[in-house]
């Protein structure tokens, strides 16, 4: 049945205007005023805003870490995303020994039968050799067009500068985008060993052993490698003021480099790790200072940073105590594993469902971002950068009917009771929100209506992407 969304105010990355939307099947067929379609279901939306579904470019579902696994899988995490207005997620695939195609097959086996929203994959480049070079050349056949490299996690994930440079040149040859986790692995290893030897193992030492200067110099090093390779680079989870400064420096000099930050780096600081429940805020890279928060907001407002992802990788705060999820008790070992040693606390936190509601109230309503900037940062820009636009991230004829109906006046006290993540805490517990999703459509199907879940396991689809990087 055709659906007409009437009388809403459409908000895109560039415009705000009143129009009706005709949905036929899985697509937006038409935009216009006073659309009359015989036999169509009409949904009136006076006073409501209409956005394209959110695109989260950075998630980690069912990720093994420290003897446990992130507590949201490709159903529960996707469901949480949908309740927060996100309809497409991009998950990272670890490259285990063997061909990349085998690692992708493992992740497809996890995701394909469970997916509740549409999704794509990035893949880590954890070593560089002739086999990996051949694998990278074949990635477009798999619909994967983005790679991730690390300048940290020595002996596990890190590539040396030569490996990163080779990856950048290979990516350029095949129309792929390289993403970079920017920290200094050597400094982290040294400082961590010294802290542990001195008995300094409380959560704040996670941040103190990963200094911001390591991230800053790694961003400059990554940009320099990208410039020398004449290849595009995307810096993930930017968290420090100096990173914004150096991203701006590189972009002003024509280096094809882009940046992403996450909600946790806009609102929280190292001080949160000193709380009795400080383990909740442990993620890598860590939170910094209020000055860093402010500079990141400036980077977003000034167009230096192009996207807001989440790095969603949740763990229970106390996995020895079950929660009730969809009527059943669930307990998954979590941050209690490092109760006495920060090096054993699983790194990551819940955020995929928080992103749009939190950023609307504390970004748009607070005057830090315009509504159009908001849509660009959480939907349209990631769709463009990662080869999903205009299928995703757009309210255009022919686009997938991934649509969020937003009630800009709804007031709620947010927290774990509203967020749908499969974990036992929320970083934004008790925060007052004004504005929240009312209806969420995935390819024309209503999957969220207020507090009601209408979606199902397996409804999400893997989106194959074509090579070619759009620089913003």
The answer to whether residue 1 scores a pLDDT higher than 90 is no
For all residues of the chain together, what is the average pLDDT? 97
The answer to whether residue 432 scores a pLDDT higher than 90 is yes
Residue 453: helix, strand or coil by DSSP? strand
Q: What is the model's pLDDT at position 411?
A: 98
Q: How far apart are the first and last CA of the chain?
A: 37
Top-level class of domain 54-385: alpha beta
CA dist list (Å): 417 to 80, 86, 98, 429: 12, 18, 42, 9
**Nearest alpha carbon to residue 103 among 132, 123, 127, 75:** 123
Burial of 318 (0-12, 13-18, 19+ CB in 10 A): middle
How far is 392 from 461, CA to CA, in rounded Å? 13
How far is 433 from 358, CA to CA, in rounded Å? 7
pTM of the model as a whole: 0.98
Give pLDDT tens digits for 109-138. 999 999 999 999 999 999 999 999 999 999
Span 251-262, average pLDDT: 98
Top-level class of domain 3-51+394-453: mainly beta
Sequence ranges of the domains in the chain: 3-51+394-453, 54-385
Q: Is the Cα dihedral 78, 79, 85, 87 positive or negative?
A: positive
Residues 6+ apart with CB under 8 A from 194: none
The answer to whether residue 376 scores a pLDDT higher than 90 is yes
Give pLDDT tens digits for 164-175. 999 999 999 999
Give pLDDT tens digits for 272-308. 999 999 999 999 999 999 999 999 999 999 999 999 9
Span 422-433, average pLDDT: 98
**Nearest alpha carbon to residue 281 among 426, 442, 127, 122:** 426
Same fold, 3-51+394-453 and 54-385: no
Q: What is the model's pLDDT at position 392?
A: 98
């Amino acid at each position: 049945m055709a659906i007409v969304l009437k009388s809403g105010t459409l908000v895109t990355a560039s415009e705000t205007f009143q129009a009706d939307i005709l949905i036929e099947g899985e697509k937006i067929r038409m935009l216009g005023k006073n659309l009359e379609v015989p036999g169509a279901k009409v949904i009136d939306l006076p006073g409501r805003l209409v956005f394209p579904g959110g695109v989260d470019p950075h998630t980690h579902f069912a990720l093994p870490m420290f003897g446990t696994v992130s507590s949201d899988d490709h159903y529960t995490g996707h469901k949480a995303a949908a309740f927060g207005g996100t309809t497409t997620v991009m998950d990272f695939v670890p490259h285990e020994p063997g061909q990349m195609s085998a690692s992708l097959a493992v992740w497809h086996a996890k995701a394909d039968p469970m997916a509740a929203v549409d999704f794509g994959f990035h893949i880590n480049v954890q070593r560089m050799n002739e086999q990996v070079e051949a694998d990278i050349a074949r990635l477009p056949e798999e619909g994967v067009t983005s790679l991730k490299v690390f300048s940290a996690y020595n002996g596990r994930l890190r590539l040396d500068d030569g490996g990163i440079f080779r990856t950048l040149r290979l990516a350029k040859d095949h129309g792929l985008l390289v993403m970079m986790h920017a920290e200094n692995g050597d400094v982290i290893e040294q400082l961590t060993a010294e802290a542990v030897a001195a008995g300094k193992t409380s959560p704040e030492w996670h941040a103190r052993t990963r200094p911001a200067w390591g991230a800053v110099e790694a961003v400059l090093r990554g940009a320099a490698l990208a410039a020398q390779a004449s290849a595009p680079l995307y810096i993930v989870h930017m968290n420090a003021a100096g990173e914004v400064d150096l991203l701006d420096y590189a972009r002003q000099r024509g280096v094809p480099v882009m940046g992403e930050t996450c909600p946790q780096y806009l609102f929280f600081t190292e001080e949160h790790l000193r709380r009795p429940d400080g383990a909740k805020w442990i993620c890598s890279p860590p939170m910094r200072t209020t000055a860093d928060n402010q500079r990141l907001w400036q980077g977003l407002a000034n167009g230096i940073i192009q996207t807001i992802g989440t790095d969603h990788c949740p763990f229970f705060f106390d996995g020895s105590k079950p929660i009730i999820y969809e009527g059943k008790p669930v307990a998954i070992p979590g941050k209690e594993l490092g109760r006495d040693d920060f090096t054993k606390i699983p790194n990551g936190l819940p955020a995929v469902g928080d992103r749009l509601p939190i950023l609307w109230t504390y970004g748009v309503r607070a005057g830090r971002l315009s509504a159009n900037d908001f849509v660009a940062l959480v939907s349209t820009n990631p769709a463009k950068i990662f080869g999903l636009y205009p299928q995703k991230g757009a309210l255009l004829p022919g686009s997938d009917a991934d649509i969020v109906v937003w009630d800009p006046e709804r007031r709620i006290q947010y927290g774990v009771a509203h967020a749908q993540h499969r974990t036992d805490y929320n970083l934004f517990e008790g925060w007052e929100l004004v504005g929240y999703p009312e209806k969420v459509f995935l390819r024309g199907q209503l999957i969220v209506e207020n507090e009601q879940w209408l979606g199902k396991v397996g409804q999400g689809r893997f989106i194959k992407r074509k090579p070619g990087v759009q620089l913003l």
